Chains A and B, each alone.
Chain A
Amino acid sequence: MKRATLAALGLATSFAMPAAAEDIKVGLLLPFSGVYAALGNEIEAGFNLALEQFGDETDATFEIIREDTEVKPPVALGKAKKLILQDDVDVIAGIVSSGVLGAVRDMVHGAGVPLIVANAGNDEATGADCSPFITRMSFSNSQVNRPMGTWMHEQGIGKVYTLAPDYAAGHQMIDAFTASFTAAGGEVVGQEFTPFQKTQDFGPYLAQAKASGADAVYVFYAGGEAISFVKQYDSFGLKAELPLYGSGFLTSPLYVNAEGPAAEGVITALHYVPTIDSTANAVFADAFTAANGRVPSEFAVQGYDAARALIEATKTGASDRASLANALRNVKFEGPRGTLSIDPATNNVIQPIYVYETVAGEDTLTQKVLAQLPAEADPVNGCEMAPVSN
């Protein structure tokens, strides 16, 4: 009813004001409780910051409806249904876990509601299960890890032992690394997948890594597991003889301070680090730090760029589900991560990858960028999608 009135008002005044203000309903679907609550809050903080900074660039206004997924796919699907069928949202943003993305994928695709993915990295979402309505502004699991295989071999590392939690994302991250590392001529001498979210003591696996005869260890861990892993790795004294590399979530700014000095010298790769030297990043990082009292993490920038993409899309005049979906696939802008664009073949973001070392700063740990690896699009991976229609 309210929307109908607004639309009528818009129609009535459209003669006087050519660019009538559109009210866009945005469903923000994030975990605000459960194991990923910290990530949900971080993404939301970034999202709101972008609305604040760039909201004036568009005539559209945004009404945010936030829903808690509790990191449970069935709950998230129920909430997505509510957003689409009852709240009648124009666009959904958010989604932290790949399980949740897998659960809501058919729903948003079937209903034709554009979804801006602000974290979940499962390769299928922009591969075999891609959809013209799903645009990913975060990363794909293989995108973050693939460049590292080649880079590490270039640094003269020949043999690697890998470790990751035993779930879909863990396998995808490690598989992408293994593929490029072995293609470059390296050898993976051992590989172990640890029980996901149930491993607290990594000692048994570290002893195996030590005995494997590898030159280095490459891992993917995130959140609480990353903290435990990095600290235990250091406590066994492995860092000196067996350097630790990994996917950048391992030493994310969100929890690197809980890892403390144990994280020093760990070299990882990620699509964002708060120390990227650019104006866009300075604007973002300063505002975020001022508002939240901590440096932004990759999760914050994902929320920030998700909102930014939405704003860019509305600037083209898009205001309903179909036109927003099309416009989102065409966005391109200069953000804190560098130049971002959307791969027309998969709807995944194309972005540079940063190799960084965690080093001691003045009073906290900071990130020293070692290399910026060029942006490249993921392979299509079985994605078949109608081209953008205008």
Chain B
Amino acid sequence: MAHDLGFWTLQALNALQLSMLLFLLSIGLTVIFGLMHFVNLAHGSLYALGAYFAASLAAVGGYWMGFFLAPVAVAGVGVLLYSGLIKRMRKSGPMAQVLVTFGLIFAMLDLTRIFWGDLALGIEVPALLDGRLAFLGVEYPTYRLFIIALGLAIFAALAFVLARTQIGAMIRAGVDNDAMAACLGINVERLFFMVFCFGCALAGLAGAVAAPLLSVTPDMGLQILIPTLIVIVIGGLGSLKGAVSGSLIYGFVQTFGAVLAPQLASVLIYALLAAVLVIKPVGLFPAKG
């Protein structure tokens, strides 16, 4: 089948949209890791929780209520997790962290089932973002353009905060050497706490944004976890640049793989990951050399 330029533009937009959704998820995970050396496998469960909160809130007060409040609610869960579990697990090895958060996946999966049931839920796209826009010569769903724009805006905001503000400098100092940063009078504990909650809020936001696009099911967190991990491992743990490049690589390989080599689409991304790990065992843009 020969395809015209419009077709490829459409696919590129699809790839970009998927990348931005993954970016929202992976940035939280990767910054938490970079700063705290903490591996949160339950990050996907927070995303699912965000989608469920958004679905419940949207039923009460419409889409925008879910959009704005779901991240706050998930950040609230983050506060509970941090003070109950994460704080004490900080100094444990990666294996203990993997296991505790693995336990959290189990627990949160069943908790969502208990609270929201097994039936899939859905949210409507808000009227403002319904329909399609003509863009680069193709008609593209407005909501997907909104996701792309949101992802880019958050990327720009984070890049600005990290590079230009005092809090950004503190975070960078913490990533480089947390002990030294603490010596310089930075309250590292409080910094960790804030970053963790912010990462959770971004996961919740990703869930709220994905909910109208996909279906809200108890296992959505498990489904998104592996792609998110692939993104941050390819990109390199702990860096903004890594998260964004990993997301783009994943989004484009997945989308164009599905179009050009459907039989290989899902194995392709794992093969790419293995290749990256062989050539650069710490990913493309790790936070530290």
Contacts and interface: CB of A to CB of B under 8 A. Distances in A.
Interface string B213-225: 1111101100110
B3 interface: yes
A203 B256 CA distance: 11
A258 B121 contact: yes
Contacts of B143: 235
A208 B144 contact: no
A192 interface: yes
Interface in B241-258: 254-256, 258
B141 A201 contact: no
Contact of B119 (A192, A197, A203, A255): A255
A211 B3 contact: yes
B259 interface: yes
Contacts of A254: 119
A211 B1 contact: yes
Q: Which of A193, A203, A212 has the most CB of B within 10 A?
A: A203
- SS class of chain B's interface: helix, strand, loop or mixed? mixed
A224 B120 contact: yes
A231 B213 contact: yes
A170 to B, nearest CB: 13
A227 interface: yes
A275 to B, nearest CB: 20
B120 A223 contact: yes
A229 to B, nearest CB: 9
A38 B14 contact: no
A211 B4 CA distance: 9
A12 interface: no
B255 A260 contact: no
A200 interface: yes
A228 to B, nearest CB: 5
A124 to B, nearest CB: 24
Contacts of A99: none
A195 B10 CA distance: 20
B189 interface: no
B122 interface: yes
Q: Which of B10, B11, B121, B139 has the most CB of A within 10 A?
A: B10
Contact of A211 (B7, B125, B215, B223): B7
A9 B246 CA distance: 72
Contact of B266 (A195, A231, A258): A195
A207 interface: yes
A41 interface: yes
Contacts of A235: 125, 132, 141, 143-144, 213
B259 A38 contact: no
Given A207-B11, A231-B213, A257 B122 contact: yes
A259 B122 contact: yes
A211 to B, nearest CB: 5
Nearest to A232: B213
A205 interface: yes
Interface in A1-58: 33, 35, 37-38, 41
Given A228-B215, A255-B215, A38 B120 contact: yes
B170 to A, nearest CB: 36
A194 B144 CA distance: 21
Contact of B217 (A41, A194, A224, A232): A224
Contact of A212 (B1, B4, B14, B254): B1
Interface string B6-26: 010011001001100000000
Contacts of A224: 120, 214-215, 217, 219-220
A38 B122 contact: no
A190 B2 CA distance: 13
B142 to A, nearest CB: 8
Q: Which of A35, A204, A212 has the most CB of B within 10 A?
A: A204
11 contacts: A33-B113, A201-B14, A201-B17, A203-B10, A203-B14, A208-B1, A228-B213, A231-B212, A231-B215, A260-B122, A261-B124
Given A200-B214, A207-B11, A255-B215, 4 more contacts: A197-B223, A200-B224, A211-B7, A228-B215
